[in-house]
Amino acid sequence: MIIQATHNDRKYSLDTSKFIDLSIPYNFNGPQPNFYDVEPGKLKPLKGRDKSWSVAEGAGCNVPEISMNIHCTGTHTECVGHLLEKESDVSAYMENILMSAILVTITPQPFGDCPDKYHAAVEDKESVISTDRFFREYKQWLMAEPDALIIRTEPNLKDKQFYRYSAHPAPFFTTSAMSMICDTTIKHLVVDLPSVDRMSDDGILGNHRIFWGDGHNPKGEVNPESKKTITELAYIPNQVEDGFYFLNIQIPHFICDAAPSRPLLFPVV
């Protein structure tokens, strides 16, 4: 099906059959990414007193029960409720079925090689997305004023989908780079990282606070009315070119600060 989408008074055509799935398939009893060495997601059949609800075990149908850590074992989308006491409904933050989006590829650099700062102690050799590396790739798209930004980091090995991040430390944004993102039109950020923050930042979650707060203070209060979202642990295949797209983030209606998600990228035809 060909549909029409409008952004900044310009019309675009999209072929809905030619989407690119940016989610990591959630294999409950197979390989999964893992952040903080949490228990992996699991699937098992419902057990009755004398019956297992599994066709393989003689039942008439399968009735699986699942357990999962939303934030740490798969592609997920989170809202400002991640940092609030009150109960959140992350699905309510998907106000548009389609949003304009830019995909850029960034090669992180050692923290010691850039002038940027971070709100917690960082070793010089740790990999970061700096203001320079971000702006170098994004500047050509400034006039597009996209609603969403998708960032693919290099190296982009297929194995990255299933990293145990305690053994493969992930890059993260510098404080300055996150502030620069907040100075753009971006409302929805999609990354192939387990977090926009350092794995350990003294429990501050400073870049999250910048994104959902005033755009600059990593230790400030967040705006509880913010409609922005962050999608983490996405995976962008290498063959997908940088550029302008439309994005649909599929998400179940969870009354929660985060939910498993399936970001779908639509090329313009």
Distance CA 154, CA 46 (A): 42
Residues 6+ apart with CB under 8 A from 256: 70, 81, 88, 89, 90
Please, what CATH class does the domain formed by 2-25+75-267 belong to?
Answer: alpha beta
Q: What is the per-residue pLDDT across 186-201, written as a single tens digit (0 to 9) for each?
A: 999 999 999 999 999 9
Full DSSP string of 144-207: G--SEEEEEESS--GGGGG-BTTTSPPPEE-HHHHHHHHTTT--EEEESSS-SS-S-STT--HH
Residues in the chain: 269
Three-state SS for 44? Answer: strand
Q: What is the per-residue pLDDT across 104-161, written as a single tens digit (0 to 9) for each?
A: 999 999 999 999 999 999 999 999 999 999 999 999 999 999 999 999 999 999 999 9
Domain boundary assignment for the chain = 2-25+75-267
Answer yes or no: is pLDDT of 29 > 90: no
Specify the pTM. Answer: 0.96
